[in-house]
Amino acid sequence: MVVSANKYATEAAIKILDQGGSAADAAVTLQLILGLVEPQSSGIGGGSFALYYDIKQKNIINYDGREKAPMKLSERVFLENSGQRMKFFDAVIGGRSVGVPGTLATLKELHQDFGNLEWEKIIYPVIQLAENGFYPPPRLVAALKKEKYLFNENTNDYFLNIKENPKKLTKNWDYAKTLKKISKNYKEFYEGNIAVDIVKKVLANKNPGYLSLNDLKNYKVEKKSPICVELKKFYFCGPA
C-alpha cells in the first residue's frame, strides 16, 4: 500500500514496488516527486524524518534528517542591532534562515540500508515526469496565489508561469537536470557544483545567510529510536 498527498507520487511509487523495489525504494521516488509537484511543502532544499520498520530485526528505525543550523550562525542572527527581535518575515525571507538541507541525505541513507533497486533507477521516473510534464495540483496553485515574497526573491519565471497558467502542462527542466546529476552521484548536492551554487545563492542574498560548503559536506543523518506509545494492542510511533 502506498499513501501520499499526490496522485503522481503514489502511482510512481506503486510502479517501483511492482518492479521489485522495497518500501525504501518507493519512498525515495515518492518523496522526490512530491518535491516536483508540491514544492511549497516538500523538496530537496528542506529536511525530513523517516520511520522504517525492519521486519527481519523487528525494529523501527527513526532517520532524523532535519535541517541543521550553519556552524557560523550567531546567536544574534534574528535580532536587530538594537537587540529587538526582528519581525518574522524580515528574519525568514532570504538566506538568513537557511539551514543545511537533510532530505536528500535521508533518502540516500534509507536506500543504502533497505533499497533493492539501483539509486539511478528509482530517480529515473522523477526525471521523466519533470521532463514530460505534469498538471499543477490545486494545492500548489493555491499556495502560489497566496504567495507574497517568492516572486521578489526568485528571478526564474517557472512559478509565475504556473500561477498564470494553472491548467497548463508544466515541465521543470532545472529539477530534471539536478536529479540527473544526483542520480549519478548524490554527493554533487553536498560537495559538488550544486553545493557551490546553493552556498552562493544564500550568501549573495540581500538578507544573506551563514551557510558554508563545510556545513553541506559535514551533514550527517542521525539514526535514533522513535517515540512510541502503546494503545491497547497497537504501538504508535513517530520521530524522536
Residues ≥6 apart with Cβ < 8 Å to 165: none
With a cut of 90, say whether residue 153 has pLDDT above it.
no
Torsion of CA 231, 234, 235, 238, to 10 degrees: -90
Please tell me the predicted confidence (pLDDT) of residue 152.
86
Q: Of 193, 199, 230, which is closest to residue 214 (Cα–Cα)?
A: 199
Beta strands of the chain (E only): which ranges? 48-54, 59-65, 222-224, 227-231, 234-238
- The pLDDT value recorded for residue 91 is 94
- For 159-199, what is each residue's pLDDT tens digit? 999 999 999 999 999 999 999 999 999 999 999 999 999 99
Give me the pLDDT at residue 240, please: 85
Side chain identity, residue 64: D
Q: How far apart are CA 220 and CA 63, in angstroms?
A: 10
Backbone angles phi, psi at 96, to 5 degrees: -60, -40
| Residue that has been written with the C-alpha cell 528571478 in this structure | 155
Taken in order 29, 34, 36, 39, is the CA torsion positive or negative? negative
Mean pLDDT of the chain: 96
State how far the Cα of 183 lies from the Cα of 32, in Å rounded to an integer: 11
Main-chain phi, psi angles of 174, to 5 degrees:
-65, -45
Name the residue type at position 76.
Answer: R
Q: pLDDT tens across 104-123, in order?
A: 999 999 999 999 999 999 99
Residue 238 is predicted with a pLDDT of 94
Q: Any idea what the Cα angle at residue 48 is, between residues 236 and 135, rounded to 5°?
A: 105
Given a cut of 90, is residue 154 above it in pLDDT?
no
Which pLDDT band, with edges at 50, 70 and 90, does 32 fall under?
very high
Q: Which of 201, 221, 222 is nearest to 212 (CA)?
A: 201
Q: Of 123, 132, 124, nearest to 171 (Cα)? A: 132
* Nearest-angstrom CA–CA distance, 130 and 174: 9
* Residue type present at position 91: A
Q: What is the percent of the chain with per-residue pLDDT over 90, rounded to a whole number? A: 94
pLDDT score for 118: 98
Confidence at residue 104, expressed as pLDDT on a 0 to 100 scale: 98
